[in-house]
């Protein structure tokens, strides 16, 4: 068996998988609040205690929400370092670290059926490249370039690129973000904390009957739920701005990667607000990129519904490694 991990700023998934010809089979998968542990090795200790399986995997692959440099990675949204050598010493096996979106991208080829929601059918080219974007605690982006007939994942930190305003309203948002952070980056709009920034922007000078504590971990979900239920007009506008900007940035990534093989939207937020995404403004913003509208209109666009897609991708990567 192999041990896979999807290490996020809020939650970490760990799972033992049995390699298979078509797709790794999960044997034991567990979720842990990342901030409850001082280190990843301490989390490994907890997993070993919790699982009835014998924890001696033949390989370990971890998708980490942050840049991976050599044998070390640092999470972007939590003060945590992950050392592959320390984990290897603890488990006595090989350890591979990859960016979490690189892991998710590796797994998209095995997703099918009810694991995907279609936003645009498109016409996937067999020789085309693929892109993946995921909004959650942060915003991740990755590319799958076609090399010698095979898709090869490439990580990026595109979520920390500058946010591009497309309207006078978004220009006002950029001014607020610059006042608060010194610059406006995409993740400050398209993430859970980004939705809170949009809440602050739309509620300026106005109260909210729904959300009382913006510092709570559940605040982004409260904003989106209030918007979907129509309980607060300012929450409705915040979610609308989020959906529009998400569609535009997904289109940007699709153009940068020339994603004629497909566009995949992952992360924890998209499935929860799928009804709002389906209302049309997401795809309108995705396509509103003349003179490339025709190219974008032929790209398949899917929302990943499998909440373990990143973990599965890490397991797929583990099956590929010797």
Same domain? For 26 and 40 the reply is yes
pLDDT for the residue 243 = 98
pLDDT for the residue 321 = 52
Same domain? For 149 and 280 the reply is yes
> Pick the residue with more confidence: 99 or 205?
99
Same domain? For 76 and 206 the reply is no
Q: What is the pLDDT of residues 230-244, one digit of tens each?
A: 999 999 999 999 999
> Pick the residue with more confidence: 321 or 289?
289
Percentage of the chain lying above the pLDDT 70 cut:
99
- Would you say 134 and 101 are in contact if contact means Cβ atoms under 8 Å apart? yes
Same domain? For 260 and 316 the reply is no
- Greatest mean pLDDT range, 35-44, 45-54, 196-205, 241-250: 241-250
Across the beta sheet with 262-266, what order do the strands follow? 116-120, 301-304, 262-266, 130-135, 139-147, 150-155
Same domain? For 128 and 261 the reply is yes
Q: Which of 137, 8, 140, 17 is nearest to 64 (CA)?
A: 8
Cis peptide before 291 (omega within 30 of 0): yes
Task: List alpha helices for 210-273, DSSP H.
Answer: 219-228, 233-256, 269-272
For residue 187, the 8-state DSSP code is: G
Report the DSSP pairing between strands 72-74 and 25-33. Answer: unpaired
Return d(Cα 209, Cα 186) in angstroms, integer.
Answer: 28
- Whether the pLDDT of residue 168 is over 80: the answer is yes
Q: What is the pLDDT of residues 85-124, one digit of tens each?
A: 999 999 999 999 999 999 999 999 999 999 999 999 999 9
pTM of the entire structure? 0.93
The mean pLDDT of 276-297, rounded to a whole number, is: 97
User: What CATH number has the domain bearing residue 38?
Assistant: 3.30.420.40
Sign (positive or negative) of CA dihedral 20, 24, 29, 35:
positive
Same domain? For 145 and 236 the reply is yes
Same domain? For 58 and 197 the reply is no
The mean pLDDT of 193-219, rounded to a whole number, is: 89
Q: What is the pLDDT of residues 51-93, one digit of tens each?
A: 988 788 999 999 999 899 989 998 987 888 899 999 999 999 9
pLDDT for the residue 205 = 74
pLDDT for the residue 77 = 79
The mean pLDDT of 198-207, rounded to a whole number, is: 90
Same domain? For 129 and 220 the reply is yes
Same domain? For 290 and 316 the reply is no
pLDDT for the residue 145 = 94
Q: In the chain, how many domains are there?
A: 2
Percentage of the chain lying above the pLDDT 90 cut:
82
> Domain residues for 239?
114-305
Q: Is 230 exposed, middle or buried (0-12, 13-18, 19+ CB in 10 A)?
A: exposed
Q: What share of the chain is helix, strand, coil (3-state, %, to 5)?
A: 40, 25, 35
User: What CATH number has the domain bearing residue 245?
Assistant: 3.40.367.20
Same domain? For 217 and 78 the reply is no
- Whether the pLDDT of residue 257 is over 70: the answer is yes
- To the nearest whole number, what is the mean pLDDT of the chain? 94
> Pick the residue with more confidence: 319 or 303?
303
For Cα atoms 220, 225, 229, give the angle at the middle one, nearest 5 degrees.
150
Same domain? For 155 and 258 the reply is yes
Tokens for 156, please give them.
Answer: 């990026």
Return d(Cα 271, Cα 246) in angstroms, integer.
Answer: 13
- Whether the pLDDT of residue 273 is over 80: the answer is yes
Same domain? For 142 and 248 the reply is yes
Return d(Cα 115, Cα 232) in angstroms, integer.
Answer: 31
pLDDT for the residue 138 = 92
């Amino acid at each position: 068996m192999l041990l896979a991990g999807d290490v996020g700023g809020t939650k970490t998934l760990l799972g033992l998988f049995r390699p298979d010809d078509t797709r790794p089979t999960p044997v034991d998968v567990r979720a842990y609040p990342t901030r409850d542990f001082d280190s990843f090795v301490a989390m490994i200790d907890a997993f070993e205690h919790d699982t009835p399986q014998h924890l001696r995997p033949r390989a370990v692959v971890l998708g980490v929400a942050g840049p991976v440099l050599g044998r070390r990675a640092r999470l972007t949204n939590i003060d945590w370092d992950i050392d592959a050598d320390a984990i290897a010493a603890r488990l006595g096996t090989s350890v591979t670290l990859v960016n979490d979106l690189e892991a998710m991208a590796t797994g998209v080829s095995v997703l099918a059926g009810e694991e995907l929601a279609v936003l645009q059918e498109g016409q996937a080219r067999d020789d085309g490249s693929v892109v993946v974007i995921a909004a959650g605690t942060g915003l991740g982006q990755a590319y799958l370039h076609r090399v010698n007939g095979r898709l090869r994942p490439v990580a990026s930190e595109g979520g920390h690129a500058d946010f591009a305003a497309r309207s006078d309203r978004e220009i006002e948002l950029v001014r607020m973000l610059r006042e608060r952070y010194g610059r406006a980056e995409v993740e400050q709009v398209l993430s859970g904390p980004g939705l809170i920034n949009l809440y602050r922007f739309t509620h300026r000078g106005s109260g909210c009957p729904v959300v009382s504590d913006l510092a709570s971990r559940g605040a982004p979900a409260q904003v989106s739920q209030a918007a979907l239920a129509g309980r607060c007009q300012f929450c409705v506008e915040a979610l609308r701005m989020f959906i529009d900007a998400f569609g535009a940035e997904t289109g940007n990534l699709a153009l940068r990667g020339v994603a004629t093989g497909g566009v995949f939207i992952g992360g924890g937020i998209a499935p929860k607000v799928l009804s709002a995404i389906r209302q049309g403004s997401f795809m309108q913003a995705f396509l509103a990129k003349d003179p490339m509208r025709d190219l974008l209109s032929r790209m398949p666009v899917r929302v990943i519904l499998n909440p373990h897609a990143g973990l599965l991708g890490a397991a797929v990567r583990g099956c590929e490694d010797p």
